Structure 1
Amino acid sequence: MLFQTFDEKRMLAIHAPNNIPNGATNIFEVDENNGKLKIQHVQNINNACYKGK
């Protein structure tokens, strides 16, 4: 999913692997230049709400 934050950063979110409870969200900060996306920064966010279920 591509989205823009409130402070106008463009972000790409990918859930991998796509199975609960082993999934994790990977968020990439991206820049666009001439219609091409370039990854600037990577964050990994665990799906804490699914742990232990």
Structure 2
Amino acid sequence: MNLHYVGLTRARKGCILVSSTERTNYENKQKKANDSEFVWLNSIKKLRYISK
């Protein structure tokens, strides 16, 4: 979570966060993915811009 904070607060022009519903683990198996808890903190919501 600290790395996300640093990335967002030090971005000069913008920061793009991408999420996925699946991930591939080290055994090359598909697993359900979870969003970073940082993406959904209440204080971050006002900074979000969703492109169309």
With structure 2 as the length reference, what TM-score do the two structures score?
0.23
Higher helix share: 2
With structure 1 as the length reference, what TM-score do the two structures score?
0.22
